Amino acid sequence: MLTRLSYDAVKESPRRGRIAVSTKSEDRELTVAGRQALSSAGRDLLRNLALAGFAIRKHNQIVGTVEFKCAIPGQAEYNDLVKRWMYAWGDRRNCDIAGRHSLKGLIRIIETQRVIDGDVGILKCNNGKLQIIESDRIRNPPEDIRHGDYEWIHGVKVGSTGKAFQYAIHKRKEGGNFEFERNISAEHLILCGYFSRHDQIRGVSLLAPAINQFKDVYESIDYALAKAKLSQLLGFLTKRNANDDSDDSDELTKDIKDKFGVGTVHFDLSLDESAEMIESQTPSTQFQSFMENVIRIAFAALDLPLEFLMPNIANFYSNRGALHYFIEACRMKQEGLTEALNEITDWRIRMAIADGELPPPPNGMDIDTMLWYCDWEGARLPMWQLLETAKEALVAIQTGLISNQKITRQYGIDLEEVLSETAQTMATAKDLGVPLAFENAIGTNNTFNIGA
């Protein structure tokens, strides 16, 4: 019997590339220049390649869509007050220090920058507003400012355990250079990013593995279009004796283009010369199939199914399965975003209660306990899917296989709010003598039964 005493994966083979061994941290692998080049490549794709923009927007459509919830048990009125205050603070004039974006708009910008740059800074200002610090503005300060037993890594002052203590913020100058502005305590700035290793200080773009594939698609489209344009040209060939030095070629070319249009080419050759055009399908089915696979690989960086771009390649159930897979993948990506939002909520609600903008929690509840019931939720299934599966959901609830709460959470519905609004609607309908179509379907009792 053959016994293996080692891992084949670490053995070199002429059939595979040489194994590169690296013990560097992620922050050492991606140097300052490399980080800048990676961000620039991602931003360039967003500006110029519609396909990359589509992928990022589709990612943002789910990951960047979150809702604030306050659900203190038995305190519906106070919960509603806190939610209304949070929505009011989310107005662009109240939450953005520049006054340009609402809170939802800032969330979408934060997620876009997380995807492209790897991370983004969220500064909690003393006036209760937020300021977005783009990734490349966080960089190492001048050497005369660095001192002590701390280490500066990509603009972050860290201790021996890797904990961040300060961030060095720079301002942009004309021409693309940076000038040191100030150091900010880590207590006041949230670095929201994508991390894959425990000791990683700065985030890395999700697009990093797909940058080259997107570039290949971009360049291949240009080449394919050039080839397609060439195949549409109408060619004319004229020949003359080698000793014929008459100078009427330009006149003949002009005459041909006048008659047949500008999309023509004219070859003026001698009798012993020839011109041949390479003709093929433009683009070929093989090329289209290859490009489809390249796009699929690029989309995999964002866990984005190709069915979103080309729904015709799959049936209804496959598309539905792809949507479920994508939403589950988005739930993990949302963790960093919702953690940042929960930290912002904790800071801002404490400030609002201290300033009298919000009343203190009811029944003597302390603020720490109250904040346990404040949370951000997202990555839910679309409402149209609930309408399509309403019958199955009803059967599952009636047979006890699933609860109302679990169904509503999957679609981002506040069950307590729905029940409260339904009761209010039914009471109003009873007072006005208006029958409700859904009254019998939801199994109401005599308390709300019109005409009882």
pLDDT of residue 104: 93
What integer is the mean pLDDT of 321-349?
Answer: 90
Q: Does 218 share its domain with 202? A: no
Residue 192 lies in a domain: yes
Query: Quick one: pLDDT band at residue 449, thresholds 50, 70, 90?
Result: very low
pLDDT in tens, 58-75: 999 889 888 898 988 888
> Are 191 and 247 within one domain?
no
Half-sphere exposure of 71 (CA within 13 A, CB side): 13
Read off the pLDDT of each residue in 332-339 and give the average, rounded to a whole number.
90
Q: 218 and 182: one domain?
A: no
Same domain, 35 and 81: yes
Note whether 141 and 268 are same-domain residues: no
Q: Is residue 16 part of a domain?
A: no
Q: Is the pLDDT of residue 195 over 90?
A: yes
Residue 102: domain span = 26-207
98 class by beta-carbon count within 10 Å (0-12 exposed, 13-18 middle, 19+ buried): exposed
Looking at the structure of the chain, the number of domains it has is 2
Structure tokens at 330: 């988005």
Which of 83-97, 147-161, 239-253, 280-294 is least confident?
Answer: 239-253
Pick the closest to residue 340 from 203, 222, 144, 170 (CA basis).
Answer: 203
Q: Is 103 within a domain?
A: yes
Residue 343: the pLDDT is 95
Query: If you average pLDDT over residues 325-340, what whole number do you get?
Result: 88
Are 197 and 227 within one domain? no
Residues 62 and 178 in one domain: yes
pLDDT tops 90 at residue 384: no
Q: Is 361 a domain residue?
A: no
Same domain, residue pair 164 and 245: no
In a domain, 425, yes or no: no
Instruction: Give the domain-ending residue among 191, 207, 223.
Output: 207
Same domain, 199 and 220: no
Domain boundary among 207, 230, 251: 207
Per DSSP, the three-state class of 403 is: coil
Query: d(Cα 315, Cα 311) in Å, to the nearest integer?
Result: 8
Report strand pairing: 264-270 vs 234-240: parallel
Any domain includes 415? no
- For the chain, the average pLDDT equals 83
Give percent above pLDDT 90 in the chain.
Answer: 40
Report the distance separating Cα 288 and Cα 286, nearest Å.
5
Highest-pLDDT range among 147-161, 226-240, 266-280, 374-388 = 147-161
**Residue 34 maps to a domain:** yes
Compute the distance between CA of residue 334 and CA of residue 376 in angstroms, rounded to an integer: 10
pTM to 2 decimal places: 0.78
12 part of a folded domain: no
Is 184 in a helix, a strand, or coil? Answer: strand
Task: Write out pLDDT tens, residues 219-256.
Answer: 888 877 777 776 666 566 666 766 666 666 667 666 66
Tell me the per-residue pLDDT of 101-140, one tens digit each, with 9 for 90 and over: 999 999 999 999 999 999 999 999 999 999 999 999 999 9
- β-strands 178-185, 189-193 pairing: unpaired
Say yes or no to pLDDT of 13 above 50: yes
pLDDT surpasses 80 at 179: yes
